[in-house]
Amino acid sequence: MLLEKNVYVHAIAYFSVVVLSTIVFLAIFELVTKYQNWKEIKEGNLAVALATGGKILGIANLFRYSIEQHALIFPMIIQGFFGFLLLLVGYFIFEFLTPTFSIDLEIQKGNKAVGFISMTISIGLSFVIGASL
């Protein structure tokens, strides 16, 4: 469905897809982490908030690139999902490359340094992934 005729309809369509996709992707991240994101954030865990915020910004940035490249919704969704899968792989690589401690457990314990690095990795990878798609 080509939406170039009405910029507002186009914006609402992209906005709706990205919000829904973000919710789905965050639910997937919730499944692969060893902690409950929203419970930890509610309890004031800044490390989890940083890591989760990085994931949200990373997902949004991936879709930003995808929206810029596609006038059609479906290809934009496919590219966004593929970008998310690469972001998820990046998360597992980050965990694998730190064998001396568990990223998830450090974030759950409130280690702000690890939360910050996790955030910057998510955001940084989203720029690389987005530019490469």
Hey, where are the domains in the chain?
7-132
Q: Cα–Cα distance between 94 and 67 in angstroms, integer?
A: 27
Q: What is the pTM of this model?
A: 0.89
pLDDT tens per residue across span 38-55: 999 999 999 999 999 999
Q: For 5-21, what is the mean pLDDT?
A: 90
Question: Which region among 4-8, 16-20, 50-54, 120-124 has the lowest average model confidence (pLDDT)?
Answer: 4-8
Q: Which pLDDT belongs to residue 95? A: 87
Q: Which pLDDT belongs to residue 9? A: 87
pLDDT tens per residue across span 105-115: 999 999 999 99
